[in-house]
Amino acid sequence: MKEIIRRKIKALKVGNLSEKDFLLFLENLPFSNDTHIKLDFHRRLRRGIPEVIFGQSKSVEQLRHIIKKFAEVGEDMLITRVDEERFHKLKNDFPNLHFHAAARIITLNREPKAVNKGKILVLSAGASDERVAEEAFVTSKYLGNRTDKEYDVGVACLARILSLQKKLSSYSVIIAVAGMEGALPSVVAGLTSTPIIAVPTSVGYGSSFNGVAALLSMLNSCAGGISVVNIDNGFGAAYQATLINQKFSRSFR
């Protein structure tokens, strides 16, 4: 990859490559062309967010290869859906890794830097939804957002969410995580003009159908301003919230 970049820089210097074409090359720089794993290290140039690795089905050896590649290019790293056993095996080779146990996420062992002006709030209806909420919270922070969280504020006791009403509109995006009947996003959307990203979880009794009931409730909400991601997809909610927050931040620059 470095050699390709050097050749393009040389071509630019001698006039064989225009500045416009060079910038286009940087925006669509070839991926890491390995046999089985092809990593896109220049996604940040195109989307403002680096590539995030879904770790759930990957072996320790595959993850080891990915982490090594990230280290070689000096890119930020976020790997989701990793269990503690695989993390400890990886930690032996890469001591600078950090495991966010509740979120099941691996990052580099450093404090994330907030680069976006707006703030994101992560809400969870109950303690049983916390794992998904933590995935959203950690992802949001490591994608460059100032991020707060308020957990166990479900509609079974409306006083809990009503106590937050004054602060809800101070955020650029709210992520509302809920299982059971999935009512929390509808209630929150009725209290604020802030865009809501709803995350249904697979938490609930038999008729919740592993989150399908919450998903359908959120999709059929009568409250406006709600978008919905897939069941248990805290990462997807944080990614979408980041894209919104980036636009929000640029409008204030």
- Residue 240 confidence (pLDDT): 95
In the listed set 84, 108, 132, which residue is the last one of a domain according to the structure? 108
- Residue 48 confidence (pLDDT): 76
**Would you say residue 16 lies in a domain?**
no
CATH of the domain at 125: 3.40.50.1970
Q: Which amino acid is at 42?
A: H
Question: pTM score > 0.85 for this model?
Answer: no
In the listed set 108, 133, 164, which residue is the last one of a domain according to the structure? 108
pLDDT digit string (tens) for the chain, length 253 residues: 556 677 888 888 889 888 888 887 776 566 666 667 777 777 776 777 778 889 998 999 999 988 888 877 667 789 999 999 999 999 988 988 999 999 999 998 888 888 888 899 999 999 999 999 999 999 999 999 999 999 999 999 999 999 999 999 999 999 999 999 999 999 999 999 999 999 999 999 989 999 999 999 999 999 988 999 999 999 999 999 999 998 776 655 5
Query: pLDDT, tens digit, for every residue of 140-157?
Result: 999 999 999 999 999 999
Angle at CA 128, nearest 5°, toward 124 and 132? 60
Domain ranges, residue 60 = 30-108
* Cβ atoms within 10 Å, residue 51: 19
Residues 135 and 35 in one domain: no
Q: What string of DSSP letters covers 108-158?
A: ESSPPPP--SSEEEEEESSGGGHHHHHHHHHHHHHTT-EEEEE-S--TTSH
**Would you say residue 237 lies in a domain?**
yes
Contact of 53 with 66, CB cutoff 8 Å: yes
Helix (H) or strand (E) holding 48: none
Q: Which amino acid is at 22?
A: F
DSSP 8-class letter at 29: P
In the listed set 108, 135, 158, which residue is the last one of a domain according to the structure? 108
The torsion angles phi and psi of 230, rounded to 5 degrees, stand at -75, 170
Cβ neighbours of residue 100 closer than 8 Å, sequence gap 6 or more: 106, 107, 134, 138
The region, left, alpha or beta by phi > 0 then psi within -120 to 50, assigned to residue 15 is left
**Would you say residue 139 lies in a domain?**
yes
Contact of 37 with 64, CB cutoff 8 Å: no
